[in-house]
């Protein structure tokens, strides 16, 4: 079965967040590297309305997310993590804070949920920017703009090398991590350029 079919079977052909049944698609929970790649554990089936609001904060309709009152109890990690992130994003509305207080996540799931930074106030967030000032997010792909010597090895990461599915250092806005070949390395953001999704 394909991933879409697996998720349709798991969800009963409905959005795993709001139970909508129109325009359903796979929503991959970033950063996918944390969940051991994508797949059923790192994805959920979401309707167009949920997906649009997940990806565009300016299109948020707080009342739409009252559906999380039910979906936050899902047994599936991806659904719980997205529910926690959305409730955190909306916590200033009042009612989401009550749901967050009731919600329980295992330590690993909570760590993963916090990787989006949705639980932080804007003043607390560490913003990672590439050499051109574009904001980098966990799961983005970047390209090296100069040759980089990898500390502790003879490896040189060449200019033009693509590094996919980066993760962010939550304590230092200048550091990201990603794989060059089989090696996981720390990269300084001044030496990377964010790749467009289509690259």
Q: Return d(Cα 54, Cα 47) in angstroms, integer.
A: 11
Please report where in the chains the tokens 């304590």 appear, as a residue: 171
Q: At what angle do helices 95-102 and 77-89 cross, to 10 degrees?
A: 140
Please report where in the chains the tokens 């000032």 appear, as a residue: 133
- Phi, psi (deg, nearest 5) at residue 184: -85, 120
Query: Which one-letter DSSP state was computed for residue 199?
Result: -
Q: Return d(Cα 117, Cα 21) in angstroms, integer.
A: 29
- Cβ contacts of residue 38 below 8 Å, gap of 6+? 3, 28, 32
Looking at the DSSP bridge assignments, the partners of residue 177 are 167, 186
pLDDT tens profile 95-147: 999 999 999 999 888 888 887 766 555 555 677 889 998 888 888 899 999 99
Whether 134 and 194 have beta carbons less than 8 Å apart is answered as: yes
The end-to-end CA distance of the chain, in Å, is: 28
CATH 2.30.30.40 fits 126-194, yes or no: yes
| Region 61-77 average pLDDT | 94
Residue 87 in this model has a pLDDT that exceeds 60? yes
pLDDT attached to residue 18: 96
pLDDT attached to residue 32: 58
Identify the three-state secondary structure at position 167.
Answer: strand
- Phi, psi (deg, nearest 5) at residue 134: -70, 140
Whether 152 and 127 have beta carbons less than 8 Å apart is answered as: no
Structural domain boundaries of the chain? 3-114, 126-194
pLDDT attached to residue 119: 57
Answer yes or no: pTM beyond 0.75: no
């Amino acid at each position: 079965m394909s991933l879409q079919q697996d998720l349709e079977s798991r969800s009963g052909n409905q959005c795993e967040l709001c139970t909508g049944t129109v325009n359903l698609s796979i929503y991959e929970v970033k950063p996918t590297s944390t969940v051991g790649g994508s797949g059923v554990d790192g994805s959920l089936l979401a309707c167009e309305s949920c997906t649009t609001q997940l990806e565009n904060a300016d299109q948020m309709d707080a009342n739409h997310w009252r559906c999380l009152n039910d979906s936050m109890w899902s047994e599936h990690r991806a659904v719980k993590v997205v529910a926690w992130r959305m409730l955190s994003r909306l916590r200033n509305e009042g009612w989401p804070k009550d749901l967050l207080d009731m919600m329980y996540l295992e330590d690993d799931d909570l760590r993963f949920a916090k990787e989006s930074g949705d639980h932080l106030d804007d003043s607390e967030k560490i913003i990672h920017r590439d050499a051109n000032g574009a904001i980098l997010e966990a799961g983005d792909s970047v390209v090296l703009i100069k040759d980089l010597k990898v500390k502790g090895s003879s490896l040189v990461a060449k200019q033009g090398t693509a590094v996919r599915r980066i993760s962010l250092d939550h304590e230092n806005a200048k550091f990201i991590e990603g794989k060059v070949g089989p090696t996981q390395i720390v990269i300084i953001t001044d030496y990377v350029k964010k790749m467009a999704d289509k690259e």
